[in-house]
Every structure is written in structure tokens, then in C-alpha cells.
Copies of this chain bind each other. A is one copy, B any other.
Amino acid sequence: MSSLRSSDRELSPEKTAAVLDGALQEFLAHGYAAARIDRIVAAAGVSKATVYRHFADKEHLFMALMQRLASRKKLFWDESIERFEEEPTTFLRHCALTMLENVADDPQVLAFFRIILGESGRFPQLAQAFLTNIEKPGLDCLTQYFQAHPELQLPDPEVAARMFIGTLTHFVVTRDILHGRQIIPIDRDRLLDNLIATLVRPASSASA
């Protein structure tokens, strides 16, 4: 009597995944309000009725998708925590490059950010899931690092962490999300080098 009943689960995981994949493209490309169920259906290769059997309505589908995306990027900072023993310059450069690679270089992530920001009025829970899963781990990681390195003589480790992430976020938002490459141009490596140099510059005695 192992599995005579097959009516326990009413939905096929396959179709669910197909719908979510179609929804991914559509919502990331057009935002919530302008997304069209028809196009999700077409991309997923299922019927409209199937969508509504798996998800109560457009809003639930959207929330399910976004929550999944947010938690998928959760492990983001785990590898950086492994490197707590490295020199500040090395460690910070590694963190910055990881951030930029995972965000600025991935159009899907950029679109994801745009949605989170744009729909933060209508879907505050989503914005908060984003902060909890992605923003907070990064801030915590860097705060702990700065705390563990008092020789940098930073007046406030948490503020230093916010300066680091804030500067990089501002860079990505203005350049990639707001299309500012021509308007307020700056070389990526120049920003990186001097951001790090400003934070780790010797505070009292040192060089000439």
C-alpha cells in the first residue's frame, strides 16, 4: 500500500515551474501592472486556465515569483564571510567585485531591482523581503568585518558598511538602472580603487 492514491497533490510541479518561468520574463520586462497574462501563458506554453489553477490571481503569482527570486539570491554573501582574515584592501575589493558581478552584469537582476523599487509602494512586503534577504546580509557582513579591524580607525563600523554599499549601489542605480553612463560617467575601477582607498587610508601615522 505504498501509493495507490494519486489524487493527493492536485497540481503538477512541472506546469508550476513553466508558469513561473514565463512570469519571470514578463514581469521583469514590463513591471506588474503592464504585465500581460496572455504573454505569460504564451511563454510558458500552457493555457490560461492552468495559470489560474496554480495561482489565485495575478497578484499572488507576482508575489510568489518575487519571493522566490529574493530568497534565491540569499546566499550572495556567504563566500565573503569565509575571507574575514584577508587584508582590508583585498577583502573589500573582493566584496565590491562580487556585488557588481552579481548585479550590474546581470540584466535580470537589474530588472528585478527596478521592479522592487517601482512596486515598493504597492507591495511593501516585497521590498522588505528584499531588504531582509539581500541588503541586510551584506550590511551585516561588512559591519562585522570593519568591527574586526579596529586598526582602520573608522569612527563607526556600521556607517562605514553603509558608505561602502551605498556608494556601490548608487553607482549601479545611476549608471545601469537610470541609464546615466553618459550623463555622470565614471570609470568603474577608478571608483572602486578610491572608494577603498578613502576607507582604509592610514588615519594617523603612515607614509610620507
Q: Which residue of B lies closest to A121 (CB)?
A: B114
Contacts of A178 in B (CB 8 A): 116-117, 120, 127-128, 130-131, 135
Q: How far is the CA of A202 from the CA of B155 in the complex (A)?
A: 12
Give bound CA distance, A167 to B121, whole Å. 22
A111 in contact (CB, < 8 A): yes
Q: How many residues of A contact B (CB 8 A)?
A: 64
CB distance from A107 to the nearest CB of B (A): 11
Q: Indicate how many identical chains form the complex.
A: 2
Chain B positions within 8 Å of A131 at CB level: 174, 178-180, 183-184
| Given A31-B122, A117-B118, A156-B198, 5 additional A-B pairs, CB 8 A | A32-B33, A114-B120, A159-B198, A163-B166, A198-B199
- Which residues of A pack against B, CB within 8 Å? 29-34, 111, 114-122, 124, 127-128, 130-132, 135-136, 139, 153-156, 158-160, 162-163, 165-171, 173-174, 177-180, 183-184, 186, 190-191, 194-195, 197-199, 201-207
